[in-house]
Amino acid sequence: MGTVISITSGKGGTGKTSITGGVAASLALMGRRVLCVDMDIGLRNLDITLGLNDRALMDFSDVALGRCPLARAAVEHPDLKGLYLLTSPMTLPASLTADKIRDLLDTARTEYDYILIDAPAGLGAGFHLAVCGADRVLVIATNDASSLRDAQRTVEKLEGYRQVHLVMNRIQLKLLRRLRATIDDAMNAAGLPLLGVVPEDPQVILCANLGLPLSSRGKKGAALACWNIAQRLEGQQIPIMKIR
């Protein structure tokens, strides 16, 4: 049975979509079957991050509401074998309930090794749908005070989930020094164990604009950090990246 991982954040702009795409591509390169589900309703961008812009014709609501089978709606990446996308509708159908999402994810578990959900920012109805069937949750935060406060609020909403981890994204060494802050400070502020540290990397924006998965740039910078996170999800003991 596959594992459902919801990737969320308390606020927008933390880079959760790029983390979702980077980790998903890494898992696919490891030989896993990976389904990315974009649940950022109305603001979907995961297709761009994965290099699958406008390829998806059906969305996850079509599958959850029985209008289309999962195998037909999920679009496979043309270059990365085993990487699939199930995109988001532009509006949230009133008939789409948490139970229907759970049924969709139960079906996906039988066909994929990992299901990565790109959750919307904030803690509204979309957030609750995105985490309702998750086995694990990754909270993405940056090292600024507002992001860490929002991460704390997200953790409060996730009470009862057994596996919740923090990923620190867009980390700059100069900023850490200027603020006299450390990753330990961020972990304490968010109240979560750390799964990964991802450095600020211009390749993230470049790859998105070119329609290329981050993994296409090799294992360095943010791509290497996502690869390390994927290995940890696989149960491997990998040291946390040092930001230089």
**Can you give the pLDDT of all 244 residues of the chain as single tens digits?**
899 999 998 778 899 999 999 999 999 999 999 999 999 887 788 988 888 877 777 999 999 999 999 999 999 999 899 999 999 988 888 899 999 999 999 999 999 999 999 999 888 888 999 999 999 999 999 888 788 888 888 888 888 877 999 999 998 866 666 555 666 666 676 778 889 999 999 999 888 888 788 887 778 899 999 999 999 999 999 887 776 6
Beta pairing partners, 223: none
What's the confidence (pLDDT) of residue 151?
86
User: Class of 3-233 per CATH?
Assistant: alpha beta
What's the confidence (pLDDT) of residue 195?
93
pTM for this predicted structure: 0.92
For residues 231 and 27, is the Cβ–Cβ distance under 8 A? no
What's the confidence (pLDDT) of residue 56?
74
d(CA 150, CA 155): 9
What's the confidence (pLDDT) of residue 109?
98
Beta pairing partners, 140: 167
Name the H helices within 13-171: 16-29, 46-50, 60-64, 70-73, 98-109, 125-131, 145-157
